Amino acid sequence: MTEFLSIVIAAAVVNNLVLVQFLGVTAFYSASSRLQNSLEIALLTAAVLVTASLLNLLLTNYVLSPLDLMFLQLICFVAVSGSITVLILHWLREKFPVSLRRLHLHLLLVGGNSAVIGISIINTRNGLGLIENIANSIGAALGFALVLIAFAALRQRLDTADVPQPFRGPAIHLISAGIIAMCFLGFAGLV
Amino acid sequence: MKTEVYCSPQQHSQLSQHSTGRIMLWVIAACLPGIAASTWFFGWGLLLNILVVMVFAVLLEAVMLKLADKPVKTHLADNSALVTGLILGIAIPPGSPWWLLFTGICFAIVVAKHLYGGLGQNPFNPAMCGYLLLLLSFPLNMTTWHLPTDTLFADQQFSPLSWTSLQYSLQLCFPALAGDGSQISEYIDGFAMATPLIEYKLAGNSTVLAALENNSPLFARASETGWEIINFSFLLGGLFLLFKKIIGWQIPVSIIVTITIMSLLFYEQGSTAVYGTTYLHLFGSATMIGAFFIATDPVSAATTPGGRVVYGIFIGIAIYGIRVWGSYLDSIAIAVLFGNFCAPLLDHFCRPRIYGHSTRPSQ
Amino acid sequence: MSLLSLFHRSTNRRPSRNPGRHKIHKIVGGIKPAANKARSLRSRIMSTPIPEMLVLPLLQHKGTPATPVVKPGDHVLKGQKIAAADPRGVPVHAPTSGKIIKTGQCTLPDAAGTLVSCLMLASDGKDEAIETGLSGDFRNMSKVDLVERIRDAGIAGMGGAGFPTHLKIQTSTASDIATLIINAAECEPYITADEALIREHARDVVKGAEILQYVTGAQQCIIAIEDSKIAALAELKLAIADSAIEIAIVPAKYPAGSEKQLVQAVTGREVPFGEFPASIGVLLHNTGTAFAVYKAICESEPSISRITTVTGSTLKTPKNFHVLFGTPVTFLLDLCGIDRVLLSRIVVGGSLMGNCLHDMDAPIIKTTNCLIAGSLEEFPEPLTERACIRCGFCADACPVNLLPQQLYAHCRCQSYQQAKDFGLIDCIECGACAYVCPSHIPLVQYYRASKSVVFQQQTDRKNSEKWQSRFQFYQYRQKRESEQRIQARAEQPSHPQQIAQAVFSREKARQEISEAVARVKARRANLIATSTLSSPSLSSPSTEPDEKP
Amino acid sequence: MFPFVNTAYFQIPAITLLSASILWLIYITTRYLRNESRQQQRCLVDQINALLPQTQCGHCGHPGCLSYARAISTGAAINQCPPGGQHTIQALSDLLNETAEPLNPSHGNHSEPLIARIRELECIGCTKCIQACPVDAILGGTKLMHSVIESECNGCDLCLEPCPVDCIDMVPGFTGKQWQWALPNRSDAVESEIGEQV
């Protein structure tokens, strides 16, 4: 249990997907424009990430690797994550027809999210077992969600700030992300 | 009579804590006991640090205000640059060269403060941004504390407040003053760990605990109880700020309580890891100044009462976690920046219930 | 003083000792500014001499203005109705006998300095009162009759808002009123009108409260007073000795006397957002209103005067005046010996919610409870606004639990939707936040400006919805009409005779139109020729009035 | 895993299967997106229409606000609505994530709300304005005097054009607006101005 927890914490904080490994930066930046939006994307990404990495592990271990098809790994991973996203979104749309209006943006941000594919590749490359794989992807999803939501709230605050004209918008957002990344570097060695 | 019509209220509180410039001066005043204690125990280095950083801070602030086309004099009068300089000056190890101080304060004032639009707009604590940048860029300098009582100077005993000590401090700060560089490089090769907590982390025993066991005299300079006294002095200053109601109770109390609980939970007698005692965690490092002076910076901290409590808890956990399990030695800066990062989110979810509404506001 | 108040608070904790005392609940936030009340309480209430000229605005309250029932040149008696009102307003009475000189315009002593029409009354110095019917015991009268008399007496809330009292009573009789609170908690600095009134007329105030309780059918009546008003409290205790009225002693804290906060302090319940206290069975009336009701019912004297505090450090003898409505502000200030050199500004109301006076000749109206003629030391120029450091002092001071610092950030960058989410509409504009703000930000002004924009947006939205639905109906109707026309054409056999008739009538109509156009043109040419007046409406018909491309 | 079979035989069918499934995925995704965007489009027109002032004045060059909303949703400029003024442009730019440009003056200028008033002496009772009024705010019968219901008039000035005798004026109506506090001047701006003068 302790090991499981430590893997989760390590993946969430120490090896944070966005701020330390720089994966899923597109989704991180474009989904954080509004807090509501970021909550939706964070939840979706977390769900897709965990499912996809599990499926990808099974795919790699029982199909690709025995059949010597490892060169197809990337394409397969993209296909898997894309189809999971479509399925989840389809299900969500039937459940909550109103709340998820911008579904197709979500599809692009979640389905094409390099974080989802990246974590699968990292997991398979490091040869993690099933439990470790689950722990790692849960931690990564948590870390991604936390950073995304907190950054969206931060951006809301920055919207009211008197930022000098040349630094308005993406410039100051990226500077802030840089400072936060510095802060996450400080967590190194925690686990 | 008047021709202009003012909006109500027609009067303003005359109390000194109800003026931004004075608030900043009170914060500086509340730091004085801690600074005095440090100077008493460790010599001129810290004082010199603070002085140099403050001068740089004010200069940079003036330049940035000029660039932003703001009235320089009125904005300098809010004294916020002084406080940033003071906190950074205290955080950086004494005996650091001037260029290190300049780099830190430059990042703090220019990037972390004025790129966001100046006072009140920055989401991150400028001083801690500067400190973290230095810590990541110059790790050796930032963990090297040159103190006159170092073992390095064991052969030539002199008082920390003596003229010789001042000379050494000046030479360390401005290497050009030393004339030939050989002597200085000699100093830089040797280093001493600063806080007892760090000593404990590396060596398994702390000077504070040793001093406690030995019943050493409290205010003697060689007694190695310095850190304890310094922390108590900062605690005193912090309590003064609380008394003046310049800072709220939520942040310091929740930080201290969290650290206390964490250290009680994880304490292992005689363990080789750095699960030090509660006393060591509270008074053996920079906890007090962090809890009362750095984390309470109102601009970057959470601003709702509930948010402040959670903010303090986050910082407390981060401080303890990094200290005990992390690879960095001083955790205040990282923890505070992490707290700052979370603050807008906490504020969003901890808004108080408005009079006449049955639920909390939400979006 | 401090010792006394200490003693006082300690007794306050033991309600069992004093059965007449009501339990007090906690209110959040609030500030404790310097009260500055002692100076105006040194002397007793003084009745002002009758000024030569009284200016009587027709709108002294919230609602619709009254319409004059006298003409210039008429002689009126004291207490005679000179302007009548519709059911949503209150009438105006002559404060003294004299002659109506003219109708004109005057500036109100409000924040905007609104210009309203007024009647000028030159007093004849005789102060002859109009004959009134005898007044009996109010318990023998019907409630409807009493409300009618209160309305006819022209009573509007004397606390500052000026809501017509009869309307308040009428709305409350619709709902069940459990508690009637008489607000004697004058929490704002400088104002002592209610305190002085209670000191000298406690019995009359209590009587007025009893009338109001009878009219509204409230089960209990509570007079809420601040714990710092010791003398007034003693008088009040004597006065309520043989009545069922209770006293609630609220802590001296600003804004404990504000409507919503007082309801919370006395009943422990909050007034729901967007509703009146009546919705939770509470009704509030001001002390001055209770006194005016007493005068109207028991002494048959309509609302023609009030107690007004005139104070400030530029006055030699600040005091409370029993002043007739329509008395110019300058008249009162001169009575107190004003030093115009020291004067910085005149504030109407207390120093925290009051507004600057625009015109020194503005009259005292029904809502004017205090005039402060302050020196530059008392009311200095506001300091430069600095950056907000989010210290949160304002949030601690806010009595409705808002986050003024966040609200300010959104108001400043004009994101009104966000500001609304942060409770902009809930703000009561008490000014506690701006009072403590270390950066001297005029927060209340930000909120007021933003509120007016939000309200404007709401009316715009309402209008556009209305117009949209009307336009949709217009389109639907047009479609229906054209269909009907097609249908009619299909059904009707077209006889040549009918067609000829139709053509004839159409031509006749066209001819008539052209004749009319010619007539109008001729008349217009005539007009232009005869008068040198050239208004845009008389310009030549060839120019288009709108400037469309 | 499959010790008796040469894995090379599996590669070709596996690749075929995979590419087929990927193609299928791409197909359903595009179909899904197309549906989605169509729905969004409909939704968007309603949202835009809700922001327009609904005067139906046609100053923007489109007959009525709804058709302008449709035009905006397919890419028309958002700065063509004079009655809405800068507020509407700002709201539209927030909704559509476009830059808020100033009002295009070729469509008219923003003014305080006006209402139409008929000079009743000159009215000949032609009912042309009644037919033109989009919100049915004009009362009157054939050859009888017409009158504008002021509370219903939206100031679109569509009734001016058809009037044969030009007896309709646009006048400032009672807007119910009271005196308001303005946002305080930012100290920075004020002071820097003073500084420049000195």
pLDDT in tens, chain C (549 residues): 344 444 444 333 444 444 456 788 988 999 999 988 998 999 999 999 999 999 999 988 887 888 899 989 999 999 899 999 888 888 999 999 999 998 888 888 888 888 888 999 999 888 888 877 666 778 888 888 888 888 889 999 887 778 899 888 887 766 788 899 999 999 999 999 999 999 999 999 999 999 999 998 888 999 999 999 999 999 999 998 888 899 999 999 988 989 999 999 999 989 999 888 888 889 999 999 999 999 998 888 899 999 999 999 999 999 999 999 999 999 999 999 898 888 888 999 999 999 888 888 899 999 999 999 999 888 888 888 888 999 999 999 999 999 999 999 999 888 888 899 899 999 999 999 999 999 999 999 999 999 998 998 888 888 888 888 888 898 898 899 899 999 988 877 667 777 777 777 888 888 887 888 888 788 777 776 765 544 444 444 444 444 333
CA dihedral sign, ordered B28, B32, B33, B36: positive
Residue to mutate among B128, B311, B345, B348, with most A CBs inside 10 A, is B345
Closest A-chain CA to C415: A160
**What's the CA gap between C456 and C468, in Å, rounded?**
18
D21 contacts A79? CB cut-off 8 A: yes
C382 contacts B11? CB cut-off 8 A: no
Considering only the beta carbons, identify the residue of A69, A82, A101 that sits closest to D11. A69
Q: At what angle do helices A2-9 and A130-159 cross, to 10 degrees?
A: 40
**What's the CA gap between C385 and C412, in Å, rounded?**
12
Within a domain: residue C45?
yes
CA distances from residue A95 to A100, A101, B137, B184 in whole angstroms, order as listed: 10, 12, 50, 71
**Any idea which residue has 């509660």 for tokens?**
B278
Range of the domain at C54: 19-335
Closest A-chain CA to D97: A33
Mean pLDDT computed over B38-43 = 80
Torsion of CA A79, A84, A85, A86, to 10 degrees: 90
User: Does residue C295 belong to the interface with chain B, where contact is any CB pair within 8 Å?
Assistant: no
* C398 and C324 housed in the same domain: no
| Three-state SS letters, C75-104 | EECECCEEEECCCCCCCEECCCCEEEEEEE
User: Does residue D94 belong to the interface with chain B, where contact is any CB pair within 8 Å?
Assistant: no
CATH number reported for the structural domain that contains residue C81 in this entry: 3.40.50.11540
Closest B-chain CA to C435: B12
* C303 and C432 housed in the same domain: no
Query: Which has more pLDDT, B293 or C545?
Result: B293
Q: Which residues of A touch D32 (CB under 8 A)?
A: 86, 90, 104, 107
**What's the CA gap between B48 and B45, in Å, rounded?**
5
Q: What pLDDT does residue D63 have?
A: 84
The pLDDT confidence band at residue D23, using thresholds 50, 70 and 90, is: confident
Bridge partners of A34, per DSSP, are: none
Q: What pLDDT does residue C540 have?
A: 42
Q: What pLDDT does residue B30 have?
A: 95
Of C335, C350, C377, the last residue of a domain is: C335
From B32, B36, B82, select the one nearest B237 (Cα to Cα): B32
Give the DSSP H/E element, type plus range, for residue C54: strand C53-57
- Tell me how crowded residue C289 is: count the other CB atoms within 10 A of its CB: 28
Give the DSSP H/E element, type plus range, for residue C375: strand C370-375
**What's the CA gap between D154 and D138, in Å, rounded?**
11
Give the DSSP H/E element, type plus range, for residue B24: helix B20-42
For residue D96, is pLDDT > 50? yes
Considering only the beta carbons, identify the residue of A69, A75, A86 that sits closest to D22. A75
User: Does residue C356 belong to the interface with chain D, where contact is any CB pair within 8 Å?
Assistant: no
Helix (H, G, I), strand (E, B) or coil at A138: helix
User: Does residue C458 belong to the interface with chain D, where contact is any CB pair within 8 Å?
Assistant: no
Which stretches of C312-359 are assigned E, i.e. beta strand?
319-324, 343-348, 355-356
Which stretches of C153-256 are DSSP H helices? 165-174, 193-216, 230-239
A189 contacts B363? CB cut-off 8 A: no
Q: How do the domains of chain B map onto residue ranges?
A: 16-192
Q: Identify residues of B whose CB sits under 8 angstroms from chain A CBs.
A: 68, 111-112, 114-118, 121, 123-124, 129, 132-133, 135-136, 321-322, 325-328, 331, 333-334, 337-338, 341-342, 344-345, 347-348, 363
Q: Are B84 and B127 in contact (CB under 8 A)?
A: yes
User: Does residue D174 belong to the interface with chain C, where contact is any CB pair within 8 Å?
Assistant: no
Query: Please, which residues have CB within 8 angstroms of residue A176's CB and are 6 or more apart in sequence?
Result: A151, A154, A155, A158, B123, B124
C387 contacts B120? CB cut-off 8 A: yes
Considering only the beta carbons, identify the residue of B2, B119, B355 that sits closest to C387. B119
Q: Which residues of A touch D29 (CB under 8 A)?
A: 82, 86, 107
Q: What pLDDT does residue B184 have?
A: 46
From B9, B30, B83, select the one nearest B53 (Cα to Cα): B83
From C455, C433, C368, C378, select the one nearest C55 (Cα to Cα): C368
For residue A175, is pLDDT > 90? yes
Q: What pLDDT does residue B200 have?
A: 65
Q: Which residues of D touch A72 (CB under 8 A)?
A: 14-15, 18
Closest B-chain CA to D194: B71
Q: Which residues of C touch A160 (CB under 8 A)?
A: 409-410, 412-413, 415
**What's the CA gap between B308 and B352, in Å, rounded?**
12
Burial class (CB in 10 A: 0-12, 13-18, 19+), C438: buried
Considering only the beta carbons, identify the residue of D181, D187, D192 that sits closest to B69. D192
Q: In what order do the strands lie in the sheet with C46-47?
A: C46-47, C319-324, C305-311, C370-375, C343-348, C355-356
Q: Which residues of B touch A189 (CB under 8 A)?
A: 325-328
For residue B149, is pLDDT > 80? no
Give the DSSP H/E element, type plus range, for residue D188: helix D187-197
Bridge partners of C323, per DSSP, are: C306
**What's the CA gap between C20 and C248, in Å, rounded?**
8
**Any idea which residue has 């503005």 for tokens?**
C362
Return mean pLDDT, chain B: 82
Closest B-chain CA to C360: B1
Query: Which has more pLDDT, B39 or B22?
Result: B22
CA distances from residue A58 to A82, A123, C286 in whole angstroms, order as listed: 17, 11, 77
**Any idea which residue has 């010599």 for tokens?**
B43
D181 contacts B70? CB cut-off 8 A: no
Considering only the beta carbons, identify the residue of B7, B69, B71 that sits closest to D181. B7
CA distances from residue D14 to A56, D4, D21, D25 in whole angstroms, order as listed: 16, 18, 11, 16
How big is the CA angle at C24 (ends C22 and C28), to the nearest 5 degrees? 160
Query: Please, which residues have CB within 8 angstroms of residue C200's CB and are 6 or more apart in sequence?
Result: C44, C45, C235
**What's the CA gap between C480 and C494, in Å, rounded?**
22
Q: What pLDDT does residue B180 have?
A: 53
Q: How do the domains of chain D map onto residue ranges?
A: 1-111, 112-175
**What's the CA gap between D144 and A4, in Å, rounded?**
88
User: Does residue C418 belong to the interface with chain D, where contact is any CB pair within 8 Å?
Assistant: no
Q: Are A93 and D36 in contact (CB under 8 A)?
A: no
Burial class (CB in 10 A: 0-12, 13-18, 19+), B176: exposed
Q: Do β-strands C220-226 and C75-76 pair in parallel, antiparallel, or remain unpaired?
A: unpaired
The length of chain D in residues reads: 198
Q: Which residue type, as a one-letter code, is found at position B306? A: G
Considering only the beta carbons, identify the residue of D181, D184, D191 that sits closest to B71. D191
Query: Please, which residues have CB within 8 angstroms of residue B318's CB and are 6 or more apart in sequence?
Result: B331, B334, B335, B338, B339
In order, the DSSP letters of C510-541 are HHHHHHHHHHHHHHHHHHHHH-----GGGS-T
Q: What pLDDT does residue A179 have?
A: 94
Q: What is the CATH T-level fold of the domain D112-175, as seen in this structure?
A: Alpha-Beta Plaits (3.30.70)
Give the DSSP H/E element, type plus range, for residue A78: helix A73-95
**What's the CA gap between B76 and B68, in Å, rounded?**
13
Counting one residue from C and one from D, how many pairs have CB atoms under 8 Å apart?
105
**What's the CA gap between C299 and D169, in Å, rounded?**
55
Other chains touching A, judged by 3 or more CB pairs under 8 Å: B, C, D
**What's the CA gap between A40 and A98, in Å, rounded?**
13
Other chains touching B, judged by 3 or more CB pairs under 8 Å: A, C, D
Mean pLDDT computed over A141-152 = 93
Q: What pLDDT does residue C542 have?
A: 42
Counting one residue from A and one from C, how many pairs have CB atoms under 8 Å apart?
7
Interface TM-score (ipTM) > 0.95: no
Q: Are A7 and A132 in contact (CB under 8 A)?
A: yes
For residue D197, is pLDDT > 70? no
Counting one residue from B and one from D, how many pairs have CB atoms under 8 Å apart?
12
Q: Please compute, for residue B112, the number of CA atoms within 13 A of its CA located in the half-sphere on the CB side.
A: 31
D188 contacts B70? CB cut-off 8 A: yes
**What's the CA gap between C388 and B190, in Å, rounded?**
46
Q: What pLDDT does residue B110 have?
A: 94
How many domains does one find in chain C? Answer: 2
Which stretches of A96-191 are DSSP H helices? 103-111, 114-125, 130-159, 170-185
Within a domain: residue C496?
no
Query: Which has more pLDDT, A67 or A143?
Result: A143
Closest C-chain CA to B76: C386
Which stretches of B190-225 are DSSP H helices? 196-203, 207-214
Q: What pLDDT does residue D192 have?
A: 33
The pLDDT confidence band at residue D198, using thresholds 50, 70 and 90, is: very low
Q: Which residues of A touch D6 (CB under 8 A)?
A: none
* C124 and C268 housed in the same domain: yes
Closest D-chain CA to C537: D169
Report residue B362 as tokens.
Answer: 């939400």
Closest A-chain CA to C416: A160
Q: In what order do the strands lie in the sheet with C53-57?
A: C53-57, C115-123, C98-107, C75-76
Counting one residue from B and one from C, how many pairs have CB atoms under 8 Å apart?
160
- Does the global pTM surpass 0.90? no
Q: In what order do the strands lie in the sheet with C246-250?
A: C246-250, C220-226, C179-184, C282-286
Closest B-chain CA to A149: B345
Q: Are C70 and C82 in contact (CB under 8 A)?
A: yes
